[in-house]
């Protein structure tokens, strides 16, 4: 089978021929149809992600496809079933042997591309806003990086959950996409005074931040008393250092949050979230925004779209001809 592998840190991925895996006990063999790229994949290539696979490694954190074979001990899944999975690695290939307990059956109406674009982006935003930050109807949600993979879903879900949503992104084109997702207010991070503009809108009750850096610092100072802040990534390249005196004076809460960690710590949080999200998708309340669909041999081009911030929403790699 074909697989796109990281052979050397910091170098482009290589398209290689490798053996089709055999599912072990507790695993299923999945014929992969589509793989959603994530900013974390670019960090794995650099060697700066929190998880570092031994090389050579097939990367690709999330995928969708059809079960081809079932390993011993698997009773809740069957051959021919369509699934999506968050595995951390292995998605940029034609087949993968995956633990059965991370495979999620997908609705019949969901395409392979939508399924590959769904789990991480929507899952991260839903667990973050609902389970972690306890976003309530009528609260003001500030979303940084609002046109990216997770940011755009935070806008969409925040609006669906009844919040007043402030979307922050770079340039009119990206802000227009955030507006289509339901944003009530649009702020251009290249030109606005974020702190002043957010305060003028009434301040933030919840901050959703995959960016970090100066934008986090400005958002922190635009928070209302008892606001909750979710720093879930540092796409700016700068990890903010949080002044405790501001937290104290305003009774603010900064919430540590790594969505992928729940696969080990408390997977029920994720399965409960997926049940809600798939129901909303089936009802037509959610629709993944995929800006680019590329074939397997163009996986490096897909990663570059993320690095250069030329993508909006998701980039999906299709693995079948």
Residue 275 lies in a domain: no
Residue 181 lies in a domain: yes
Clarify whether residues 251 and 127 are in a common domain: yes
Clarify whether residues 136 and 237 are in a common domain: yes
DSSP 93: B
Clarify whether residues 154 and 247 are in a common domain: yes
Clarify whether residues 14 and 54 are in a common domain: yes
Which among 264, 203, 258 has a CA at the least distance from the CA of 230? Answer: 258
Residues of the chain with confidence (pLDDT) below 50:
none
The C-alpha atoms of residue 130 and residue 118 are separated, in whole angstroms, by 17
> Could you give the dihedral angle defined by the CA atoms of residues 25, 30, 34 and 39, in that order, rounded to the nearest 10 degrees?
10
Residue 265 lies in a domain: no
Those residues with Cβ within 8 angstroms of residue 283's Cβ, 6 or more apart along the chain or in another chain? none
Q: Which two tokens stand for residue 312?
A: 């909006």
Clarify whether residues 89 and 187 are in a common domain: no
The C-alpha atoms of residue 82 and residue 32 are separated, in whole angstroms, by 10
Q: Which domain covers residue 38, as residue numbers? A: 2-118+288-318
**Phi/psi at 22 (nearest 5 deg)?**
-105, 130
Burial 7-44 (b: 16+ CB within 10 A, else e): eeeeeebeeeeeeebebeeebbbbbbbbbbbbbbbbbb
* pLDDT at 321 (0 to 100): 59
DSSP 296: G
Residue 267 lies in a domain: no
Report the DSSP beta bridge partners of residue 297. Answer: none
Residue 307 lies in a domain: yes
Clarify whether residues 206 and 239 are in a common domain: yes
Strand order from edge to edge, sheet including 14-17: 14-17, 2-6, 57-58
Cβ 198 vs Cβ 166: under 8 Å: yes
Q: How far is CA 74 from CA 24, 86, 95, 262, 307, in A?
A: 10, 18, 18, 22, 39
Clarify whether residues 127 and 113 are in a common domain: no
**Phi/psi at 57 (nearest 5 deg)?**
-135, 135
Residue 243 lies in a domain: yes
- CATH number of residue 302's parent domain: 3.90.180.10
Which among 235, 228, 213 has a CA at the least distance from the CA of 141? Answer: 228
Number of domains present in the structure of the chain? 2
Clarify whether residues 113 and 213 are in a common domain: no
| Helix (H) / strand (E) containing 194 | helix 194-200
Whether this model's pTM surpasses 0.75: yes
């Amino acid at each position: 089978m074909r697989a796109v592998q990281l052979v050397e840190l910091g170098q482009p991925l290589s398209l290689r021929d490798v053996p089709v895996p055999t599912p072990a006990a507790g695993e299923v063999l999945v014929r992969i149809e589509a793989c959603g790229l994530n900013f974390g994949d670019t960090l794995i290539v650099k060697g700066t992600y929190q998880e570092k696979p031994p090389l050579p490694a097939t990367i690709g954190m999330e995928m969708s496809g059809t079960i081809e074979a079932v390993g011993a001990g698997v009773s809740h899944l069957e051959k021919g079933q369509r699934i999506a999975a968050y595995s951390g690695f292995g998605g940029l290939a034609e087949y993968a042997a995956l633990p059965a307990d991370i495979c999620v059956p997908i609705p019949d109406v969901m395409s392979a591309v939508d399924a590959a674009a769904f789990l991480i982006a929507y899952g991260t935003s839903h667990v973050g806003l609902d389970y972690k930050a306890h976003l309530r109807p009528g609260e003001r949600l500030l979303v940084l990086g609002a046109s990216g993979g997770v940011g755009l879903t935070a806008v969409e879900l925040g609006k669906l959950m009844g919040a007043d949503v402030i979307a922050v992104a770079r340039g009119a084109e990206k802000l227009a996409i955030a507006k289509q997702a339901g944003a009530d207010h649009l702020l251009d991070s290249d030109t606005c005074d974020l702190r002043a503009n957010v305060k003028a809108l009434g301040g933030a009750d919840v901050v959703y931040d995959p960016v970090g850096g100066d934008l986090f610092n400005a958002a922190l100072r635009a928070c209302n008393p008892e606001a909750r802040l979710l720093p879930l990534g540092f796409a700016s390249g700068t990890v903010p250092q949080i002044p405790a005196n501001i937290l104290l004076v305003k009774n603010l809460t900064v919430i540590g949050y790594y969505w992928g960690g729940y696969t080990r710590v408390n997977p029920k949080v994720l399965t409960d979230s997926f049940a809600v999200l798939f129901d909303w998708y089936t009802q037509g309340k959610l629709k993944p925004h995929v800006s680019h669909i590329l074939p397997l041999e163009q996986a490096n081009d897909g990663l570059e779209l993320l690095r250069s911030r030329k993508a909006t929403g998701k980039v999906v790699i299709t693995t079948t001809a």
